[in-house]
């Protein structure tokens, strides 16, 4: 069940960041944190689109979140 929630959070964060919504970065942080707690490679792989939209945004917070998400996605368990 936690994997499903993390994947849903990742999709929601991706949509919000892409749309430029004010809570997008907060949702992205929550999604990355949730995926980081899991041992699911599928959940980690699904962070890749979130990384892409974060990298497309300007600002230090978006860059830092993109770096964090990239590290979590690349972690092999």
In this prediction, residue 76 has a pLDDT band, given cuts at 50, 70 and 90, of: confident
CA dist 16 and 39 (Å) reads: 25
CA dist 19 and 36 (Å) reads: 24
pTM: 0.92
- Contacts of residue 21, defined as CB under 8 A and 6 or more positions apart, other chains included, come to none
Please write the tens of the pLDDT for every residue from 6-60.
999 999 999 999 999 999 999 999 999 999 999 999 999 999 999 999 999 999 9
Please write the tens of the pLDDT for every residue from 50-72.
999 999 999 999 999 999 999 99
Q: For the chain, give every domain's residue range.
A: 2-74
């Amino acid at each position: 069940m936690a994997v499903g929630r993390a994947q849903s959070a990742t999709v929601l964060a991706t949509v919000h960041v892409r749309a430029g919504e004010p809570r997008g970065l907060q949702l992205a942080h929550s999604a990355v944190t949730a995926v980081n707690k899991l041992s699911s490679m599928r959940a980690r792989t699904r962070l890749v689109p979130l990384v892409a939209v974060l990298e497309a945004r300007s600002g230090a917070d978006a860059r830092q979140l993109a770096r964090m998400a990239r590290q979590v996605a690349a972690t092999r368990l």
